[in-house]
Structure 1
């Protein structure tokens, strides 16, 4: 059995994070938006789980709920479970969740420029964690900050710690964010669109860096993105989300070679290829549904070229296709059994 096959199943001992049947609503005076509708996945030590989907599919909301930073109005967790190493997080005290954030779980946010405080130097923001969590002196904490910037391959780290976020390029800011997230050596890292707005060369560097750090630390990595090309080489398993639900879950090879859901199929067909020169790029017609007014049946059926009456009337459950594959499509078996 290959390493990736072993990771696809995992074991209770290696399991870092378990999200089970998670439901989240955003409430206003006018309406209630059901942004997560029964999301379930797990992450093991040393594994990279990629979470794919269009903007608004619930990827970031799931991550923020896991981190415990989306449990105040207008966000409301209405059901489900989040367990870190078997410990239930949704019922934990705020003090306990603060202890876990940074020490055990950490998150790289989508926009590094917004996530970093513009009025403090990058070094101060990294060193602050060592001072308050490790009790280090100001001098020792700053030395650790230099060490962290050097670890993420920022040149001349001893000088760069004294600079402010706006003095860093986009790629360097993202590296600084990674350094800040890894400062306390967490077991689980959630990277929310870590390559957004970066050029292709820098994207590759950031992805290589994350993968290298994951292997060195045996760290679980949740990689949130809408870019299928970014995760093709680094993901062990992939979860595809749409309208706050999981449409498909599979190991990377199976999902890329034979999608088990029409939505995944549409995403794959929209990837530009060298042999398509001169041809119109395929796209999924229409828009994702409004979370406050999701259609009956399969939420993807208004955009699905394979939809039949059953899809419009009956919502498909996420069911097991074998070999660690899951799909929420009435015709999943037909899709993956095609020649």
Structure 2
């Protein structure tokens, strides 16, 4: 079989701080193919954004340090690539939509200048041609009056429009892989739906791989092909979206799904996951989720469960996974 478009194996990342070493990623494994949408789920602090930053090669070093694993794009190892090669791949082949568009965009320059900059430096376009292409990209992502708005600054756009500008920037060089890090954070529900519909439309047109990092389970159900659930820097479950939602194989995934408000549970208390995620400088022994898990036994505190294969090309890092998914 051909290599996946993007393959991550055994990825380990530490942040060396004054308070100690934070083990942020602890053996992350996933892959994504062309035209596929992989959703990465998990609470804040589970390692989702650090995974994206490691793939992109934009983590600050120090304090971040990659201590193990592999990231391969079309079979090419990225972790050992030269800085020059990483810059060649970044934007051109693997692009990213950042979580906070207002912080990611430079307030001093117009959006047209910022979109056109990579076209001038990477494609050798003239200033006029780069601006023309920037107008086309703004039109593609649904910015009204793109020809006039290309001269506006980021603060002159609403939150939803800024996110569309970020998408236009990420698409400028026609990447094969797009990482969308919480692309609908702080947007109202209507705008969220518009942004996700836009991403799905563009992905279908370009046969692009999409890695969607989010904590919005409703969005995931609509757009994802496969899901990877993260907890304390590990993938604790992955599988296709329908099987995982219908019959989760890890207590953490089940708890996340049970915490979603439902129309058929009106008048009842909303389920919540007890406790807090562990500090990454003091991850508990055994299964990191066991202090919060309703199924925890003594062996859960002693053994770190590996990802075990389940029926239907699924996997779960739980000692009771087979019991959870059994009919």
Cα distance in 1 between the residues matched to 2:2 and 2:42 = 28
Distance in 1, Cα, partners of 2:87 & 2:130: 20
Measure, in 2, the Cα distance between the counterparts of 1:195 and 1:243.
23
Q: Which runs of 4+ in 1 moved over 2 A?
A: none
Give the distance between the partners of 1:165 and 1:301, measured in 2 at CA. 45
Q: 1:162 aligns with which of 151, 159, 177?
A: 151
Contact 1:65/1:71 (CA < 8 Å) preserved in 2? no
C-alpha distance in 2 between matches for 1:37 and 1:134: 38
Q: State yes or no: 1:186 paired with 2:181.
A: no
Task: Give the aligned partner of residue 283 of structure 2.
Answer: 294
Q: For residue 119 of structure 1, what is the aligned residue in structure 2?
A: 108
SS of aligned partner of 1:326 = strand
> Is 1:12 aligned to residue 2 of structure 2?
yes
Tell whether 2:119 aligns with 1:130.
yes
Residue 256 (structure 1) aligned with residue 253 (structure 2): no
1:95 maps to which residue? 84
Q: How many residues align?
A: 327
Measured after TM superposition, the shift of residue 323 of structure 1 is 1.9
Q: Which runs of 5+ in 1 are unaligned?
A: 1-10
| Residue 309 (structure 1) shift | 0.9
- Residue 329, structure 1, aligned to residue 318, structure 2: yes
Q: What are the within-5 Å matches in structure 2 for residues 237-316 of structure 1?
A: 237-316=226-305
8 Å CA contact 1:121–1:164 kept in 2: the answer is yes
Gaps of 5+ in 2: none
Match of 2:51 among 62, 72, 89: 62
Q: Does the CA contact (< 8 Å) of 1:285 and 1:303 recur in 2?
A: yes
The aligned counterpart of 1:8 is none
CA offset digits 1:207-258 (Å, max 9, x no partner): 1111111111000000000111111011000000000011100100001100
Alignment partner of 1:144 out of 133, 139, 144: 133
Q: How is 1:195-274 mapped onto 2 (pairs within 5 angstroms)?
A: 195-274=184-263
Residue 68 of structure 2 is aligned to residue 79 of structure 1 = yes
Q: Deviations over 1:103-154 (max 9, x none)?
A: 1000000000000000001111001111111111111100000000000011
The answer for the alignment partner of 1:23 in structure 2 is: 12
1:320 match: 309
Distance 2:245 2:10 in 1: 26
> Which has the higher mean CA deviation after the structures are superposed, 117-126 or 64-73?
64-73
